Structure 1
């Protein structure tokens, strides 16, 4: 096979070029270019940060970022305009969820702070409950973002969370670790939130699609 033919087959399998007979595209063809995927993750991090500046819009920003990366790794149309189209469709219905998440997070953080100050009796227990609540909240937001679809809406995404978490406990644990990672790197240096949230969006896409060990 000539060099040109090999290049054509490679591009066909990666989704970067026209389909060649006998060369079926592999899974996630858009993810075969590692540097391109890295650049797209950074781009998505910027988009999510820009759309989530109001804080209460973070759920829709993350959900739109997840959908954007799904399109990219599938070698589908992944223009930034489609990200903003998802944001526009989902931002108003997402506001109750965003406000609720912000209020709950604020209550948990206040409890943790008070527990550390010694004002509350049973401070260590209160702090442990607070951190566990934050972990559950962050994991839930990642699960909801992965389940959201502009046609089905947020209620459908919320109803799907328990089943998704129960069907893949290991994947849920990975998402929890992802949330912890975003929190830690942001605490270390706030600008790192941009690449970290992009990585979180990629994790929401990649974790359910990973190979699972069969018994």
Structure 2
């Protein structure tokens, strides 16, 4: 093979349209080759997730659909918006129940944290700590379940996959918590930043399990 042909094959592989030779393996995430393209897609997902999440209880379904959209984009698969809306419709079945339960649990935990800070409850610091740990656990369950959801497995299968996924990757759980903290802080500072924050959350849910360190460890 000539040098020019080899270069063309490598370009085709990196763009996702190859490989055209055995020496030119396909890029793992060809959709991520363009930084500006990826940034635009993250912002788009943030807008879409924000719109679907307006009733609040639809946040799990919105995140699951956004995660699947970004995953298709990164793999250079067909990522038209019609597939996103199809995922939203499928994820709403059961997803609203998850959202209602999450909203109730969040309200109870925030109330405990608030009461603990006033000193009304005995053992206030311990109650506050339990409240914050509960919120962290809820975030991990929601993020991990959104990442595992598919129309085939449904929410029951996604929730069942959460404990094993978190046990297998505690560092990844820490990254997801850091992402949630980042999203909360930037939104608290300037509310319109909620849109890119939601896109970053969806990207983290996709990227954290795929990070090279974990992939290398799994291969061993």
* TM-score above 0.5, yes or no: yes
Task: Note if contact 2:145-2:158 (Cα within 8 Å) is conserved in structure 1.
Answer: yes
Task: Note if contact 1:135-1:180 (Cα within 8 Å) is conserved in structure 2.
Answer: no
SS in 1 for 2:31: helix
Corresponding residue for 2:61? 60
Structure 2: how far apart are the matches of 1:7 and 1:187?
Answer: 48
Corresponding residue for 1:209? 210
Structure 2: how far apart are the matches of 1:198 and 1:80?
Answer: 15
The CA deviation at 1:196 is 0.8
The CA deviation at 1:12 is 3.6
Query: What are structure 1's unaligned runs of at least 5 residues?
Result: none
Q: Bigger CA drift: 20-29 or 150-159? A: 20-29
* Cα shift readout 1:143-180 (whole Å, capped 9, x = no counterpart): 00011011111000001000000011111111111111
Matches within 5 A, 1:140-159: 140-159=141-160
* Cα shift readout 1:10-43 (whole Å, capped 9, x = no counterpart): 244222x565345332111111111101110000
Would you say 1:125 and 2:117 are equivalent positions?
no
The CA deviation at 1:111 is 1.1
Corresponding residue for 1:115? 116
Structure 1: how far apart are the matches of 2:63 and 2:8?
Answer: 36
SS in 2 for 1:43: helix
Structure 1: how far apart are the matches of 2:111 and 2:15?
Answer: 49
Structure 1: how far apart are the matches of 2:141 and 2:189?
Answer: 23
The CA deviation at 1:9 is 3.8
The CA deviation at 1:49 is 0.4
Structure 2: how far apart are the matches of 1:14 and 1:138?
Answer: 35
Corresponding residue for 2:91? 90
Would you say 1:161 and 2:162 are equivalent positions?
yes
The CA deviation at 1:102 is 0.4
Would you say 1:178 and 2:183 are equivalent positions?
no
Corresponding residue for 1:192? 193
* Cα shift readout 1:94-137 (whole Å, capped 9, x = no counterpart): 11111000000011111111111222222211111111111111
Task: Note if contact 1:63-1:145 (Cα within 8 Å) is conserved in structure 2.
Answer: yes
Corresponding residue for 2:78? 77
Quote the RMSD (CA, aligned, Å).
1.8
Structure 1: how far apart are the matches of 2:10 and 2:163?
Answer: 42
Structure 2: how far apart are the matches of 1:154 and 1:108?
Answer: 23
Task: Note if contact 2:64-2:91 (Cα within 8 Å) is conserved in structure 1.
Answer: no
Corresponding residue for 1:20? 20
SS in 1 for 2:76: coil
SS in 1 for 2:212: coil
